[in-house]
Amino acid sequence: MAARLPLLQPSLKDPISAKRATDRTVGPIRRWRVLTENLPMIRMQTMTTLEATEGKSGAVTLRVCDREKFDALQKTIKDYQEQIAVLEEGIRKLDAIGADLWIDDLQSRLSSLAATKAQQRKVLATWANAAISKPVYRGLTPEEILGKDELYLHHKQLCEAQISKAKAEYDALLPVVEKTEEVLGSLQAAQAGR
């Protein structure tokens, strides 16, 4: 939580900080902060519903003088405490995922990794066309040419390595994104249920 609190006041000079301040993972922190800051004020308002009375032997006791307002404030305090508990649990779950938790960044990275295969296939197609159009290979089939051309084979190996690396990163990142979305969804559902 502490790492995200500074994002509630992003620097205008830092566009990344400003962008991250609007990230959905910051919303629960913002809500938690509002609730925890307002809870003491609501507790203090409870005192306005009480009056001091002198008891036996000079002891002072408090008596509720405005039961309706007192009960409403107690209900609000209980509701705030429940919301804070739900938010803290959700924030702990987000922290436990153990990744860069800016959901916008995670989703952007996931999209980029998903596009890697198509990008690398385009690069490879360019090298294949260059190999097939070489005059040295006249009379050979495209499969034969691509099996012999050293430059094409080298680039094919590089492209396949990039695709493999991107797939491994994608496979590792996808569960993190799904868990993050699940936690954010549960927090949103909890807020909607209030």
pLDDT for 57: 83
pLDDT at 193: 72
Burial letters 122-161, b for 16+ CB under 10 A, else e: eebeebbeebeeeeebeeeeeeebbeebeebeebbeebee
pLDDT recorded at residue 5: 60
pLDDT at 95: 79
Mean pLDDT of each 10-residue bin along the chain, 194 residues long = 58 63 77 92 94 86 92 96 92 75 79 92 94 91 93 95 94 89 87 74
Whole-number pLDDT of residue 7: 55
Per-residue confidence (pLDDT) for residue 92, from 0 to 100: 85
* pLDDT in the model for residue 70: 95
Burial class of residue 163 in the structure, from the number of CB atoms within 10 Å of its CB (0-12 exposed, 13-18 middle, 19+ buried): middle
At residue 93, the pLDDT reads 86
